[in-house]
Amino acid sequence: MKPVFNVVFFMAAFCCLSTKLYADTPLTNETKVNNTAEVTDSTRAIKGINLIGKLTQGSLITGKVEKGLSIFLNDTAVKLDPEGNFVIGFGRDADLQQVLTLKSQDLTLFRKEIMLSKREYKIQRVEGVPKKMVNPDPSKTARIQSDALLVRTARKNNLELDYFLQDFVRPLDAPITGVYGSQRFYNGTPKRPHFGLDYAAPVGTIIYAPASGVVTLNHDDMYYSGGTLIIDHGYGVSSTFLHLSELLVKKGDKIAQGDVIAKVGRGGRATGPHLDWRINWFDVRIDPQLVLERYQ
């Protein structure tokens, strides 16, 4: 009788949600998922599952489940904090159909198909990039690979920090000149999409931490990104800051939201001074603009 009790309890709790997830109705971006401007402690205390964020490609979704339950994204376990909070992310070209599964020990309580909305991305043409930055000399390959390994290693961290739950703020107040997901053409040559937000600002402009965390990488001069800084916000969520002229924090430093962390530069593959701010969930590249809008 215990498994039956668990299922009944869960379904009863699920009906208490401000947004009900019906087994016969796919959850889509048009379905409101606690998408309020402000999330209070009482909202977080609702029994069942509580999702916050836009269900679309490039999004970061936070949620909460009752203690004692576990959650899986496409059959991969998602790590929970002691209070049942979790975070998941969907990349630029993520499959539109995703599956969330809720379990109690070995008993599956709920399996839900989530439908993401498909996004259309801009094409951005960037001219005047030095030829060596578009088609690097083979002698630079080892350096480029070493840089990439350092970044991948920093993003693999799974620190038990809850700063991913904070309401992220902009790292500086400046015009946005590049957006997430856009297909980049450098001097007419197609390259990988852009995965960050570009803020145009003079060299030396102060950059602030968009959320609290721990510095996991600081490098003065990477080939493509110049001065590079990564701050880990916990449970796989990290911010990366590129093209910096000066890094004002070091690896291992604990950072509070709003702390001064670096200065704008133009190092690496850049045609002018700007900050390229990126957000990851492990190796999944997230749209920073959607993170800023998560509680709106």
- The answer to whether the CB of 133 falls within 8 A of the CB of 107 is no
Question: Per-residue pLDDT for 52 more than 50?
Answer: yes
Task: Decide which of 97 and 28 is more confident.
Answer: 97
Pairing of strands 183-186, 254-255: unpaired
Share of the chain above pLDDT 70, in %: 77
Question: Per-residue pLDDT for 5 more than 60?
Answer: no
What is the reported pTM? 0.80
Question: Per-residue pLDDT for 43 more than 50?
Answer: no
The per-residue pLDDT of the chain, averaged, comes to 82
Token pair recorded at residue 15: 């009906």
Within 8 A by CB and 6+ apart from 1, the residues are none
Task: Decide which of 131 and 23 is more confident.
Answer: 131
CA–CA distance, 138 with 245 (Å, rounded to integer): 26
pLDDT in tens, 30-40: 333 332 222 22
Query: Nearest to residue 233, comparing CAs of 217, 247, 254, 212?
Result: 212
* DSSP-assigned beta bridge partners for residue 189: 186
Query: Given phi > 0 = left and psi -120 to 50 = alpha, else beta, which region is 252?
Result: left
Q: What is the mean pLDDT of residues 140-157?
A: 92
pLDDT at 35: 29
Highest mean predicted confidence (pLDDT) among 19-23, 103-107, 156-160: 156-160
- The answer to whether the CB of 261 falls within 8 A of the CB of 231 is yes
Q: What is the mean pLDDT of residues 20-31?
A: 36
Within 8 A by CB and 6+ apart from 36, the residues are 43, 295
Q: For residue 135, how many other CB atoms are within 10 A of its CB?
A: 11
CA–CA distance, 117 with 124 (Å, rounded to integer): 22
Q: At 240, is the pLDDT very low, low, confident or very high (cuts 50, 70, 90)?
A: very high
Q: At 125, is the pLDDT very low, low, confident or very high (cuts 50, 70, 90)?
A: confident
pLDDT at 192: 77
pLDDT at 276: 96
- The answer to whether the CB of 28 falls within 8 A of the CB of 55 is yes
pLDDT in tens, 169-213: 999 999 999 999 987 776 666 667 889 999 999 999 999 999 999
Positive or negative: CA dihedral 78, 81, 83, 89:
negative
CA–CA distance, 20 with 28 (Å, rounded to integer): 12
**Helix intervals (H) in the chain:** 2-14, 41-44, 131-134, 141-155, 288-292
Query: Which residue bears the tokens 């980049």?
Result: 184
pLDDT at 111: 87
Q: What is the mean pLDDT of residues 153-159?
A: 93
Q: What angle do CA 76, 78, 80 make, to 5 degrees?
A: 160
CA–CA distance, 194 with 182 (Å, rounded to integer): 5
Domains of the chain: 2-115 (2.60.40), 123-292 (2.70.70.10)
pLDDT at 63: 94
Task: Identify the DSSP state of 269.
Answer: S
- The answer to whether the CB of 278 falls within 8 A of the CB of 243 is no
CA–CA distance, 112 with 99 (Å, rounded to integer): 6
CA–CA distance, 44 with 52 (Å, rounded to integer): 10
